[in-house]
Structure 1
Amino acid sequence: MSRIVMIGATGHVGGYLVPRLTEAGHEVIAVSRGLRQPYRQHPAWKEVHRVAVDRDEGDAAGTFAGRIADLRPDVVIDMLCFTPDSAEQLITALRGRVDLLLSCGTIWVHGAGTEVPTREEDARNPFGDYGIRKARIEELLLAESRTPGGLQSSVLHPGHITGPGWAMVNAAGNFDLDVWHRLAMGQPVEIPNFGLETVHHVHADDVAQAFQLALERPRVAAGNGYHVVSDRALTLRGIATAAAAWFGQEAQLRFLPFEEFRSGTSPGNAEASYDHISRSPSMSIGKAQRELGYSPRHTSLEAIAEGLRWLISDGRLDTGGRELRTSAA
């Protein structure tokens, strides 16, 4: 079994991945900025060694990557690499010292697609700092993997990570909980354009599944990037219609040109909606299925329903006492 150092272990995916790894017999060292509690409690955390390191400070000082290498891992799982400089520091420190680096990317490396579902090898046109940086990080890691003696790396690209513990992308393409409230209450909801743009959710445990599969197939995974999403994307209209029905309602939707939609919501909500619908991802998982054996256990709607149940039980979402009833939950 492997000694695994996981950077960003207490985040959304780590709450599922850390228990998966410990139950498989791996030794896990969980690295995070502080010793906060993970999103998802599990008895497996009692077997995990916790290390508190601030990556931003360490990267600025040039010490973070060395700290990771000094933990003597066989495998490093990096959930929190956001700049090419940070990636280069980690490559230099780990080269020749670890067997595999698994890095968390994003489907935003593609930008707006042309043919859908989008495949990993399709032409890319990333835009926005986040997508551009993540695309550059992937280029660095995969080029390193192709270099003789280079650090073997794989990049997994999740979609909109969804599940219990946080708000997920809603039918307006943002994170405003009032959208879910209004759907549950049968009240009008404003949707940008015609509601035909897509978003592609994925349950956090399915992301964890993909990382575990890549870890178990290092010779296949190394040098490759993979989409990690549910089996199918959803339109905004589709999310709204399904969610309203879960509460016994018919969705009352008002479709607005985006600029009119923007003027009726907060700048933050408008920016989030634009970020999502301007990309309208619909990604293929064929490569991950063929090469890793990836098989998402949750559809997009199932992941959303599970997230909604948690929001309701945690008191974050008011449904007027209406229960969420769906076989998808």
Structure 2
Amino acid sequence: MKTVVIGGSGHIGSYLIPKLIYAGHQVVNISRGKSKPYTADPIWREVQSVVLDREQEDKGAFEQKIAGLNADIVVDLINFSLEDTKTMTQALQHTNLSHYLFCSSIWAHGQATRLPMLEDQPKFPLDEYGRQKAHSEEYLHRLHRLESFPETVVMPGQISGPGWAIITPTANADHRTFGKIRRGEEIVLPNFGMETLHHVHADDVAQVFFNAITHRQSALGESFHAVGNESITLLGYAQAMYRWFGQEERIKLLPWTEWCRHTGEQELIDGSYHHIARSGHFSIEKGKRLIGYAPRHTLLETVQESVGYMVQNGWFEK
């Protein structure tokens, strides 16, 4: 089975590609050639690497080159617009394709209207990123219904794991927050600290893609949340990290406007807003039922593995 993974050197692909190789797939990794995978598995020697950059190609040329590989399966991890989705599906329609997997996001939901959130409930995206993901999902499912295009949509949560800056208890990616907690210093959370985050290990996100491939018939035409079993409040997250570092918690709460003044950095404020405005809890019952999804990592295990990597690699001494 020839499988093309677009963006395979990133967070998800680093865990997905070894799973595919061990399962007997012939894998082609499409990347810009600017980064190495986050996992150091010797099995990567069996992966064919192709350097391609969608942004550097003429309109439609990138998709035609993907189609030219004539793969059975295409996993698209770096598609961010409806226009690119349309161009890709048009290019793939006359190939040997048996399955196209599109990486969306829980951000396609926007703000929660009921909990737990289900994959197919009405979506109200808050920004262009979420709107483009939601429009692509709608387009792909319509294409499946009308023309039997073999697609599946996967919606990851806050992807976490060792090697990159994960979302902190202040709902942004400023890893200095973990440094403060480690030293027993005070951190400041917005509002009542009751907004929620939904970390998921990149390995579990990869599992959703892999299981969708191995349960193809059940996955076709469907969307699946790629999240863990639980969400966590900002306050609960902060408390857990103080305990993990063996420190007495020192947590201050400020109303949003005061918290913004205290934080001062607009990039951090924007990051926090975009995460807490989408607070929610996302069901994985559909994934369990149709494709046998079973998260291997709890939320706190995922966070601790990520922060442990930061400690071991001196992130807080820089």
What band does the TM-score fall into relative to the shorter chain? Answer: over 0.9
In structure 2, the partner of 1:322 is none
Question: 2:29 aligned with 1:30, yes or no?
Answer: yes
Residue 188 of structure 1 and its aligned partner are, at CA, apart by: 0.9
Matches within 5 A, 1:140-155: 140-148=139-147, 150-155=148-153
Amino acid at match of 1:254: K
1:251-281 Cα offsets, whole Å, 9 max, x none, are 2111111111111221111000000001113
State the alpha-carbon separation in 2 of the partners of residues 75 and 162 from structure 1: 25
State the alpha-carbon separation in 2 of the partners of residues 210 and 111 from structure 1: 21
Residue 35 of structure 1 and its aligned partner are, at CA, apart by: 5.5
Contact 2:188 2:254 in 1 (8 A): yes
1:284-316 Cα offsets, whole Å, 9 max, x none, are 111111111000011111100000011111111
In structure 1, the partner of 2:209 is 211
Residue 317 of structure 1 and its aligned partner are, at CA, apart by: 2.6
Contact 2:188 2:253 in 1 (8 A): yes
1:211-252 Cα offsets, whole Å, 9 max, x none, are 100001111111110101010001000110000001111221
Give the secondary structure class of the aligned counterpart of 2:311: helix
In structure 2, the partner of 1:280 is 279
In structure 2, the partner of 1:47 is 46
Amino acid at match of 2:151: S
1:145-165 Cα offsets, whole Å, 9 max, x none, are 1123x4210010000000101
In structure 2, the partner of 1:61 is 59
State the alpha-carbon separation in 2 of the partners of residues 310 and 65 from structure 1: 36
In structure 1, the partner of 2:110 is 111
State the alpha-carbon separation in 1 of the partners of residues 170 and 248 from structure 2: 16
What is the alpha-carbon root mean square deviation over aligned residues? 1.2
Q: Residue 92 of structure 1 is aligned with which of 67, 90, 93?
A: 90
Contact 1:35 1:50 in 2 (8 A): no
Amino acid at match of 1:201: H
State the alpha-carbon separation in 2 of the partners of residues 315 and 290 from structure 1: 42
Contact 2:198 2:231 in 1 (8 A): yes
In structure 1, the partner of 2:233 is 235
Contact 1:75 1:100 in 2 (8 A): yes
1:70-92 Cα offsets, whole Å, 9 max, x none, are 01100000000001111001000
In structure 2, the partner of 1:326 is none
Residue 182 of structure 1 and its aligned partner are, at CA, apart by: 1.3
Alignment coverage as a number of residue pairs: 316
Give the secondary structure class of the aligned counterpart of 1:117: coil
Contact 2:99 2:151 in 1 (8 A): yes
Q: Residue 262 of structure 2 is aligned with which of 238, 255, 264?
A: 264
In structure 1, the partner of 2:177 is 179
State the alpha-carbon separation in 2 of the partners of residues 281 and 302 from structure 1: 20
Question: 2:194 aligned with 1:196, yes or no?
Answer: yes
Give the secondary structure class of the aligned counterpart of 1:90: helix
State the alpha-carbon separation in 2 of the partners of residues 35 and 115 from structure 1: 41
State the alpha-carbon separation in 1 of the partners of residues 56 and 135 from structure 2: 22
Residue 53 of structure 1 and its aligned partner are, at CA, apart by: 0.5
TM-score (norm 2): 0.97
Question: 2:78 aligned with 1:80, yes or no?
Answer: yes
Q: Residue 253 of structure 1 is aligned with which of 227, 251, 254?
A: 251
The percentage of aligned residue pairs carrying the same residue is 39
Give the secondary structure class of the aligned counterpart of 2:114: coil
Residue 57 of structure 1 and its aligned partner are, at CA, apart by: 2.4
1:111-162 Cα offsets, whole Å, 9 max, x none, are 11022111112221111111111101111111111123x4210010000000
Contact 1:40 1:165 in 2 (8 A): no
Off by >3 Å, runs of 4+ in structure 1: none
Contact 1:109 1:126 in 2 (8 A): yes
Structure 1: unaligned runs, 5 residues or longer: 320-329
Contact 1:145 1:152 in 2 (8 A): yes
Contact 2:120 2:223 in 1 (8 A): no
In structure 2, the partner of 1:327 is none
Amino acid at match of 1:220: S
Contact 1:75 1:99 in 2 (8 A): yes
Give the secondary structure class of the aligned counterpart of 1:155: strand
State the alpha-carbon separation in 1 of the partners of residues 34 and 199 from structure 2: 28
In structure 1, the partner of 2:219 is 221
